[in-house]
Structure 1
Amino acid sequence: MNDAAGEEEASMFETSHVLGALLASSPLLARAWDRCTAATAAAPGFVVHGEEDGGKVYVGFSGVQAALSAAGAAVAAGGGGADVFAPVGLGGGGDAAAGRMFAPLVAAEPDPATAAGEPVAVQALALQCFLKLCSSPDFQMLLNEIRGKAVVFTGHSLGGAIAALAALHYLCISSSSSPWAPVPPVLCVTFGSPLLGNEALSRAILRERWGGNFCHLVSQHDVVPRLLFCPPDAVPTHIIVGMQLHQWPTRTHQTGAVTTVTMRMADTDKDALRQLIQLHVGAVAMEQKLAAPETTGRSPYRPFGTYVLCSPEGAACVDNATAAVQMLYATFASRSSPGAESPEAAHSCYGELVLKMPQHLLLKRRLRVDDTPSTPNYDDGVSLALEASGIDAMVRAHAMEASTARQWLKTSKRAGRRPSLNCARLATQLGRITPCRAQIEWYKALFDVEMGYYDAFKQRRSPRKYSKVNFNRIKLGQFWDRVLTMLDAGQLPHDFHRRAKWVNAARFYQLLVEPLDIADYHHHGHHRTSGSYMTHGRERRYELFDRWWQEKACTGGDVTSSMSAASASSRRRSKYAGLTQDPCFWARVEEAREQTESARGELDVAELAMKLEELQEFERYSHELVASKEVSVDVFAPQSSYTLWVEEWNQLKLRDEVRTMLLRF
């Protein structure tokens, strides 16, 4: 913490203000807004416009169809949004088609048994409209045409939520076709978009390193980007739907549900609406400050990507989700003259803002006359960021919000740096536990010739040595569980699992220690009481380490689930591996021994044939591992479980009925 504070004092620039000024001065926002208005006017689907400079393609999405489909539901529900804006899971029990379309995000889901185990979910309305759009030939043709080009997906209001889903889908299919290729040149720019997904979606996007591909513009008093912080059953659907339809030039020709929704929106008590939103956004902001927040009954939705908080004075960029919530609350709460700006005006002001912000940068950017020369540039930058987001620190009515926002702008910077500092500290701790790993390696070498360290540990040979190695096994497991807990809690870089140093360290630990966990599991007879180790006894850390290793593309496949791992290897070893490359090899050996024992007394011909086929499959698999030298020398120790199984299997094959059956296979 002291290091972080010292770094803050030495900072010369405030990043959120600098990035906001850079973005506001570029033509990107004005061009994106033009596509949004064109898409809204066209109403159905999307519009495409190619740029001559650099070959960029702008794709604007309309939210009108989403609003029209929700208008009837809003009228029927009396304005509630529990169904229309309920979160829908992308994987597991969610829509199967959506799960395939967003496979990398779903695959990144943590174990449901953990605190961070909520499934990735998005709002029902946006997903429903996107899936319908995705099934159209025009959209599929678009995906083919933009492949390999710089693309800007954009949308206003509900169109922004659909644009974000389109960008996520495009990133997902790009990463699936070439998992280790760079992220395609994609940017999603939304204007006044409602929140799209839950915290699990935000974490999954960060794990895929896609956070920088999303830019959400939010004006100071726009209710739509903040409304889904309310619990789903308290969301006034007619407000979001009505705001979208308010932008539609041909809305006057509509009758029925559309007219009812727009009239209900016009009759809404604006002050009560502001108080409702302020109450729930404030509650979420307060929960983030608690060590153990109570989330029962709260909104599941959370921000992701970069939030650009804008006003006529400029823009401030915040890319930390927690700081984004705090800033969304502070800017919304800082209202010196209630009623001066209607919700409709605040939601439709983005075209005016993208024109005013560059003019402000050109004409009004100046040093504050009341700042002394000794004031650090960093503090100047924070003040400018507050002003750009619509909070004037010099106005007494904004004092509380300015203080909160100032704190969170600084916290955002520290939060961005803290995961890297935690990662550096873990690297130091990893070095300190190296002796634990060395002790297990020494133990392994000690029994390589006699029975192998797996069987020695299982049989508790040399109790004093066993106790020492078991202590080191537990200590190493605790370290890696602590690493995964920090990763789940967002305390480490979200691309931690793709950094070669940690993937390699985790893999080495797994290959060395998991055989001991398997030995302990079978020593206590858990395979009889609880079931197979691979399905009932395996720690979550090993499953995650398998996934990390697969993503690193070092094995060409999942050696823990494929019985052809050796044949998939791209190179052959000249000598046996230091550690057996299938971490579950000994669990497979134990299952093979049980199958062999069961086959000896099997009288049912069909059951015997099935067991013999499984044993033959394991025989082929183990022979491939041995032939490619993917096993350690301890596997061939005279008293190892594998050597004993080979003898038992050879004896079984000598029986006449077994020999006859094997000839049929």
Structure 2
Amino acid sequence: MTIPNSMDADEASPFETSEMLATFLASTPLLSESWKLCSLANTAAPWSFVTERIGSVVYVAFSGVQMAGGSDASWWSPVALDSIGDVALFSSRRNIEGGEPAMVYAGMLNLFQSLFHSLQNQMFAIIKSTDAKSIVITGHSLGGAIASLSTIWFLSCLRSISSAISVLCITFGSPLLGNKSLSQAILKERWGGNFCHVVSNHDIMPRMLFAPLQPPLTAHLNFLLQFWHLSMASLELRRVAVQISEPDIADLFSFVVACLGAAAKPDGEGSSQISFHPFGSYVFASEKGAVCVDSATTVIQMMHFMFAPSSPACSIDDHLKYGDYVNHLSLQAFKRNCEQANISDSSYEAGLELALKSSGVPSQGSVAMPIKECLRMARRMGRSPSLKHASLAVTLSKFVPYRAEIEWYKSLCDQADDQLGYYDSFKRRGSSRRGMKINMNRLKLARFWNNVIDMMESNQLPYDFDRSRKWVNSSQFYKLLVEPLDIAEYYRKGMHRTKGHYIQHGRERRYEIFDRWWKDRTPSAAEGNHVRSTFASLTQDTCFWARVEEARDWLDSVRSEIDISKEAHLWDNIEKFENYAAQLIENKEVSKDVLAKNSSYSVWVEELRELREMKAKVQNFPYQFTRFVNGGVVP
């Protein structure tokens, strides 16, 4: 039970994720039952939650009436959201080095944790139930934020158990929960379709936290929280209780509108200035219908364009009208809209007109064109990553011949009479045309994969791109095949003498990223308990030859080292590598070129054997001769 993602939509159905999806959602009992239970939680279970089973669906609703400390500055401090209890929330690691962790407001996390023990018992009881197939976690206002946190935790729990229960989170008028990293983490886990946030045109609460937490907003946060406390009271009682004047309300409204306007710049630059970001699907509801979008940029722009014409009094009162909006959303209303809409010859323009009508915005007003452009942009943005992903697969196929030529070159090297092997043949290559061509192929493949990483980190590819088995396997094969050539070129040019050894000072960032992709993958059944009967076609440690080069350096140094402690340290490093290499060979995790007679590794093994024999012979020599052998000088 998830909301379809626009990236998977058919190009022939441009409004599957706006007008049609919102109408489909309204045609189910999900919205009406969720709101009914939210209303019950607000009145019968303040500061807590209620549950109800309807057939095979279990509803869990959190009250919007919560005790929150607005005067405490720590309430509004962002905190990292890595785990809850003993459950790690996100399995995917950040691919951008130094990226900000997923964060939420401390106060919202504290509210959730205050209910965590009873919620945990309730959810585990539902899992054990044999007739529960779906869970809808819902909440109004602050209860919506708690519902989102509960859903993140519950989805994380379901990863470690074999359960077929589907999960959907529906919030009404919920404030923003987390930063951009949280939004991206949810998309990477493929959980975006598990969240549906219902927002009315004029409700200030979902938009409040687009504003930065600094004056003048800080002075109004107490009002915000007191409003949440009294969310079931009448508008007049709320104003008296919180003792806030009409000018103060107008100032708050104007400040939020200005911040939304800055965040909703058409070029998308404004969204980078806001602390917290939307995630999941957003249903924008009006008295005329609803539209649903799932692009964060479009959500921010729709938040602004629909809210700007509102009045302060209408905006505050609208927070309690979600029951009315839910009642208006029905399949029959959609059919009437279709009959009454001014349908043009273009199905695309017809979809725009229906979406605009359902948003409750006059088609001829000043706001109509910006909202139409938002919906056009949502279509382009929603499909762009998928289309680029598809075109990238075509581009990859064009680079396959370069990779095949390198494989052919490796085969020739492994069979050559000089018995140097793949690594040493490339390292010692002269000015042959074959060597030059392979080097050009190496550089072309490097540019391709660097471009893939740049596209991924600039959000031009789907968020779960790095979990696609095809791309994880392709990047791993590329790394196994080509990184030995990069190492050979590094030492061939003597770069280790000026920069230091390869692993610490010369390894390209793309290989470190591919290491993480491979580590974070879900292994296939064929990989489990696999014992090799023959040597691998490619050495499984792509830095093996860099380790050989370091071991050669240690061996050269130990011959002339006169400091006993430094000599002992060098021997310790040599023996550790010797054991490591022996284990790889025993497990047949190296290619046969490693054991070629004249390879760098075979030469190193022979030199190590000779040095040990020499040391054994000189142990019985007089002290003065031993000093000569160890590189010492007679005083």
Q: Please give the range of the TM-score, normalised by the shorter of the 2 chains.
A: 0.7 to 0.9
- Match of residue 564 from structure 1: none
Aligned twin of 1:313: 288
Number of equivalent positions: 601
SS in 2 for 1:215: strand
* Closer/same/farther in 2, CA of residues 125 and 423 from structure 1, 3 Å limit: same
The alpha carbon displacement at 1:48 in A equals 4.1
Residues 1:237 and 2:221 are matched in the alignment? yes
8 Å contact kept, 1:101–1:173: yes
* Paired AA for residue 57 in structure 1: V
CA distance in 1, matches of 2:47, 2:508: 46
| CA shift for structure 1 position 266 | 5.4
Q: Which residue of the other structure, out of 259, 263, 288, is the alignment partner of 1:280?
A: 259
Structure 1 position 379 matched with structure 2 position 349: yes
Q: What amino acid maps onto 2:174 in structure 1?
A: S
* Structure 1 portions without partners, runs of 5+: 1-6, 75-82, 92-96, 254-258, 558-567, 660-665
Matches within 5 A, 1:350-389: 350-358=322-330, 361=333, 364-368=336-340, 371=342, 374-389=344-359
Report what 2:107 is aligned to. Answer: 125
Q: What does residue 476 of structure 2 align with?
A: 507
Structure-2 change in CA distance of 1:262 and 1:212 (3 Å): farther
Counterpart-to-counterpart distance in 1, 2:115 and 2:247: 32
Task: Pick closer, same or farther for the CA change 1:47–1:285 going to 2, 3 Å.
Answer: same
Q: CA deviation at 1:649?
A: 3.7
Query: 1:658, 1:157 → 2: CA distance?
Result: 83
Gaps of at least 5 residues in structure 2 are: 1-8, 620-635
Kindly indicate whether the alpha-carbon contact (under 8 Å) linking 1:87 and 1:300 is maintained by their aligned counterparts in 2: no
Structure-1 separation of matches of 2:108 and 2:394: 45
After superposition, the C-alpha distances for 1:235-258 in whole angstroms (9 at most, x for unaligned) are 3323431331122579999xxxxx
Trace 1:477-492 onto structure 2 (pairs within 5 A).
477-492=446-461
Change (3 A) 1:262 1:469: farther
The 5 Å alignment of 1:455-534 reads: 455-462=424-431, 464-527=433-496, 530-531=499-500, 533-534=502-503
1:326 Cα offset (Å): 1.6
Question: 1:593-634: CA deviations, max 9, x gaps?
Answer: 344445556677776666555544443433333233322121
Which amino acid letter does the alignment assign opposite residue 96 of structure 2? D
- Candidates 96, 101, 120, aligned match of 1:111: 96
Specify which of 11, 15, 18 is matched with residue 16 of structure 1. Answer: 18
SS at structure 1 position matched to 2:462: coil
Residue in 1 that maps onto 2:546: 587
Matched, 1:623 2:595: no
Distance 1:70 1:268 in 2: 24
- Measure, in 2, the Cα distance between the counterparts of 1:44 and 1:608: 71
Is this contact kept in 2: 1:120–1:197, CA < 8 A? yes
RMSD: 3.7
Q: Which residue of structure 1 aligns with residue 361 of structure 2?
A: 391
Match of 1:87 in 2: 78
Kindly report which structure 2 residues correspond to 1:147-546, keeping only aligned pairs within 5 A, or say none: 147=127, 150-175=134-159, 177=160, 185-234=166-215, 235=217, 236-247=220-231, 263-265=242-244, 267=246, 269-286=248-265, 288-289=266-267, 293=269, 298-335=273-310, 338=311, 341-358=313-330, 361=333, 364-368=336-340, 371=342, 374-393=344-363, 396=364, 399-448=365-414, 449=416, 450-462=419-431, 464-527=433-496, 530-531=499-500, 533-546=502-515
SS in 1 for 2:76: coil
CA contact (8 A) 1:242 1:265 kept: no
Give the TM-score taking structure 2 as reference length: 0.84
Q: Which has the larger radius of gyration?
A: 2
Relative distance call for 1:248 and 1:451 in structure 2 (3 A) is farther
Measured in 2, the distance between the counterparts of 1:308 and 1:152 equals: 16
Instruction: String of CA shifts for 1:368-418, please: whole Å, max 9, x gaps.
Output: 26x26x53344333222222222131xx4xx23211111221321232222
Shift of 1:269: 3.4
1:219 CA drift (Å): 0.6
Name the SS of the counterpart of 2:79 in structure 1.
Answer: strand
SS in 1 for 2:355: helix
Identity of aligned residues (%): 42
Contact 1:232 1:299 in 2 (8 A): no
Cα distance change on mapping 1:524 and 1:12 into 2, 3 Å:
closer
- The structure-2 alpha-carbon separation of the partners of 1:627 and 1:8, relative to structure 1 and needing over 3 Å to count, comes to closer
Q: Does the 8 Å CA contact 2:548/2:600 hold for their aligned counterparts?
A: yes
Q: 1:353 to 1:11 in 2, by over 3 A?
A: closer
Q: Which residue of 2 aligns with 1:4?
A: none
